[in-house]
Homo-oligomer: A and B are copies of this chain.
Amino acid sequence: MPEQLPGHRPTLEAVAERAGVSRATASRVVNGGDGVRAHLVEKVREAVQELGYVPNPAARTLVTRRTGAVAVIIAEPEIRIFSDPFFSRQIRGISKELTAHDTQLVLLLVEDRGDYDRIERYLAGGHVDGALAFSLHTDDPLPAITRRVGMPTVYGGRPGWAPVSGGHGGVAYVDADNRGGAREAVRHLLDQGRRRIAHIAGPLDQTSAVDRLDGYRDVLLDADPALIAEGDFTAAGGAEAMAGLLERCPDLDAVFAANDLMATGALRVLRERGLAVPGDVALVGFDDAELVAESADPPLTTVRQDIEGMARLMAQLLLRTLDKAQGDRAVPASVVTPTALVRRAST
């Protein structure tokens, strides 16, 4: 590539002049070149090469009203609690998909409640064409914002106020089949001959936690309430919940934890109490979290969800919407992706 000339960068005007055509023709070539005679296309392309011309995105956006960028909104607490691997994999999936469509990823991290004003201004400002947002809590202000500014948005994880069956409520989301996955986990424990199966739930203001608890109940219709403890998706919370469960139900012979982190906490407590896993107590987690499930001792049987795939799906949904929307606010449909039980040594 040619060196950047000092001062002004070459403009389309310059390219046109050098190629001996009008600005309009040059523009057409730069944007695909349909309906331009081949030899002119060639001439313009050469000029572009020689001058090292790169379109000015601001100018382009000004007239097309399209930025070619998408915002990814992630709430801080989320990235801390769910812990990092999630975050990275989601971003990776989204990035791949966006890159393939020549779209840029603008990252918006929400630190505290006050940041939502900033987010709203940003979205309203038209910096981006659409947005992707993750794991909202029930009282999250984001949906109101995106609706107000008319920003096409796809959510990762079913928002708290959205119905389980997609399509309604005007929200699009991509979510794992948390409930189905939980059912499979519990059935697996039953298959192993376990009869006193406890559940360590996640914080119940998150739909993923609620759905997993529901799945547990689907299978264990008459589950003893004493067998259910609420954790917070952290290892410490899982340990605490496990301790409580052992106190209330010393006879439990299996535990289904709503995520792997809590499962490791439970594991630690079980070990401290001298209970063998899976000998005395079988244990199943959820997520198949990198660096956690597989490296636990014993490695965790868990329910895998394809984080990266889900993230890609979110981006695809959004991009598709943007492609045809172009003004009318179309709402993409929601998708629920399957989960898979991964058997390891903890059961």
- Enumerate chain A interface residues (CB-CB to B < 8 A): 1, 3-4, 9, 52, 54-59, 61-62, 67, 69, 72, 76, 79, 83-85, 87-89, 91-92, 95-96, 99, 104-109, 111, 115, 118, 120-122, 124-127, 148-150, 235, 264, 290-292, 295, 297
Which B residues touch A99, using CB under 8 A? 109, 111, 115, 118
Which B residues touch A105, using CB under 8 A? 106-109
Q: Are A54 and B124 in contact (CB under 8 A)?
A: yes
Closest approach, in angstroms, between the C-beta of A2 and any C-beta of chain B?
A: 9
Q: Are B150 and A291 in contact (CB under 8 A)?
A: no
Q: Are B84 and A121 in contact (CB under 8 A)?
A: no
Q: Are A127 and B84 in contact (CB under 8 A)?
A: no
Given A9-B126, A62-B62, A150-B4: A88 in contact with B79 (beta carbons within 8 A): yes
Q: Are A111 and B88 in contact (CB under 8 A)?
A: no
Given A84-B87, A99-B109: A54 in contact with B92 (beta carbons within 8 A): no
Complex copy number for this chain: 2
Chain B: which residue is nearest A292 at the CB level?
B291
Closest approach, in angstroms, between the C-beta of A118 and any C-beta of chain B?
A: 7
Chain B: which residue is nearest A264 at the CB level?
B295
Which B residues touch A295, using CB under 8 A? 235, 264
Which B residues touch A96, using CB under 8 A? 109, 111
Which B residues touch A4, using CB under 8 A? 124, 148-150
Which B residues touch A122, using CB under 8 A? 104
Q: Are B290 and A84 in contact (CB under 8 A)?
A: yes
Which B residues touch A89, using CB under 8 A? 84
Q: Report the bound CA distance from A235 to B294 in whole Å.
A: 12
List the 3 closest A-B pairs by CB distance, nearest first: A58-B61, A84-B88, A95-B109
Closest approach, in angstroms, between the C-beta of A206 and any C-beta of chain B?
A: 19
* A1-B124, A69-B106, A83-B291 given; 8 more Cβ-contact pairs under 8 Å: A9-B126, A54-B126, A57-B127, A58-B59, A84-B87, A99-B115, A105-B107, A235-B295
Chain B: which residue is nearest A60 at the CB level?
B58
Q: Are B121 and A54 in contact (CB under 8 A)?
A: yes
Closest approach, in angstroms, between the C-beta of A308 and any C-beta of chain B?
A: 12
Closest approach, in angstroms, between the C-beta of A77 and any C-beta of chain B?
A: 12
Q: Report the bound CA distance from A72 to B4 in whole Å.
A: 22
Q: Are A106 and B109 in contact (CB under 8 A)?
A: no
Q: Report the bound CA distance from A9 to B124 in whole Å.
A: 9
Q: Are A56 and B125 in contact (CB under 8 A)?
A: yes
